[in-house]
Amino acid sequence: MACQCFVDIMDYLRLNLPGALDGVLEMEISNTLDEFLSKTNAWVERLPVRVRPGKYDYIIKPASGLMVRLLGVGGADPDIWVPAAMHGLDTLSFRDDPGVTETWTAHVVVKQSPNAGLESIPEWIYENHRLAVQHGVIGRMMTQNAKPYSNERLAIYHMRKFLALTAQVRAERAQQYLYRGQVWNYPQNFARGTQR
Amino acid sequence: MALETVADYITEARRLLQDTRAPYRFPDTDFIAALNNGVMETRRTRPDLFLRVPTPPTYSSVATNAVVACDVQYRLALLYFTCANVQLADDETEQDARSAAFDAMYRAKLITLG
């Protein structure tokens, strides 16, 4: 059962794209979310990793979706990252021997699996990023050739809006959604100049 | 809903071609052949109408109650192609113009907002 926000998005897309088929809209929603989630790091899952002394590599898998990249691994102190990287998109590899038996937390960026369908995407993504999804889908649909809704000029407009919203979410995600988070971390008294 | 089955397409096409009284000018098989041609042409022009359908369906006169797989937004376009294709076989000069008009309407509905 689709959430109300998804239903609203579909209605908005239909009225902006006369003649578009629902199957094609859903395909482009999937493509748009693939790009959006890959670029913004908006969907993060925290995966518990049971580490053991002498074992460097661990297979990890998010509960739903596909892993895009590793943000970091919180060790015994979850606020301090442990040096780690991914070997492929399923093997977490630590630089150093964990040395203890305990549960650490891997923070991984996730996007939807193409096999799971749009139902696998959490509702909050549609609710929080509705505008980005709408602009992205309309822009992509309008770039299609020889369709009733083909429109090169409007495609450019909508893709610009989509990219601007994507950049905004990526920046806010990088600052942990903290207003003026960068300023708080680096007091302005230490600034050596301005950006102007 | 109108234009669901093969029989619906034949009935509507006969109405547009003013061929509603027996004996008919065009046999049912002509309409079904035209409908199948329309499906093939639509598959070429708008492949998105056949998403996840690797082989476009074909219809026959033995099952005129078969549902024609076409999105409701484009059923009128397929009907126009059926009319155009049936009239194309008619060897009359004035019929060619009507056939061309139906064909133009078919293409306009598929690729423009017309």
Domain ranges of chain A: 4-40+122-173, 44-111
**Does B39 map to a domain?**
yes
Which residue(s) pair with A103 in the sheet?
A: A50
3-state SS class at B5? strand
Q: ipTM value of the model?
A: 0.88
Average pLDDT in chain B: 94
Count of beta carbons in the 10 Å neighbourhood of residue A73: 25
Residue-wise pLDDT tens digits, B83-99: 999 999 887 777 789 99
Chain A to chain B, count of Cβ pairs less than 8 Å apart? 25
Residue-range definition of the domain harbouring residue B24: 6-111
Among the residue ranges A13-17, A78-82, A124-128, B94-98, the one predicted with the least confidence is: B94-98
Nearest chain A residue to B74 by CA distance is A19
**Does B70 map to a domain?**
yes
Can you give the length of chain B in residues?
114
Cis previous bond, A98, omega within 30: no
A158/A48 Cα distance (integer angstroms): 39
Residue A84 is given by DSSP the state: E
The pTM score is 0.88
Is the CB of A146 less than 8 angstroms away from the CB of B48?
no
Pick the closest to residue A31 from A108, A143, A128 (CA basis): A143
pLDDT of residue B80 exceeding 70, the answer is yes
Residue-wise pLDDT tens digits, A153-192: 999 999 999 999 999 999 999 888 888 776 655 566 666 6
Is the CB of B113 less than 8 angstroms away from the CB of A24?
no
**Does B1 map to a domain?**
no
Average pLDDT in chain A: 91
Mean pLDDT calculated for residue range A56-76 = 93
Nearest chain B residue to A147 by CA distance is B111
In chain B, residues with a C-beta closer than 8 Å to the C-beta of A114 are none
Please give the C-alpha separations between residue B45 and each of A86, A119, A148, A149, B111, in angstroms, as whole numbers: 45, 30, 12, 14, 8
Is the CB of B45 less than 8 angstroms away from the CB of A148?
no
pLDDT of residue B70 exceeding 60, the answer is yes
State the smallest CA–CA distance between residue B112 and chain A in angstroms.
Answer: 4
Is the CB of B73 less than 8 angstroms away from the CB of A21?
yes
Is the CB of B113 less than 8 angstroms away from the CB of A23?
no
Q: Does B43 touch chain A (CB under 8 A)?
A: no
State the smallest CA–CA distance between residue A15 and chain B in angstroms.
Answer: 13
**Does B94 map to a domain?**
yes
3-state SS class at A46? strand
Terminal-to-terminal C-alpha distance of chain B:
22
How buried is A8 (Cβ within 10 angstroms: 0-12 exposed, 13-18 middle, 19+ buried)? middle
Pick the closest to residue A86 from A77, A95, A78 (CA basis): A95
